[in-house]
Structure 1
Amino acid sequence: MDIDVALPVRFDALSTWPHRTSLTAQATPQGWTFTLSLTNRATVPLAQGYSACEPITIERIPDGVRVWQTGNLPCIAILLGLELKPNETHTQTARWDGKDSTGRRVAAGQYRVKMALNGFIGETLIVVK
Structure 2
Amino acid sequence: MHMIDRDEGFTLLEMLIAFLILSTALVVANQSISSSVKAFSTTKDIRATDRLASEIFIGHLDDGGAVIGEEIGRSSEGYAWRIGRMPASGAASGREALRASVSVYNPQGKLVRTYVTYFVAPNDEQGNVDH
Query: TM-score under structure 2 normalisation?
Result: 0.26
Higher strand share: 1
Higher helix share: 2
Higher relative contact order (CA 8 A, sep 6+): 1
Query: TM-score under structure 1 normalisation?
Result: 0.26
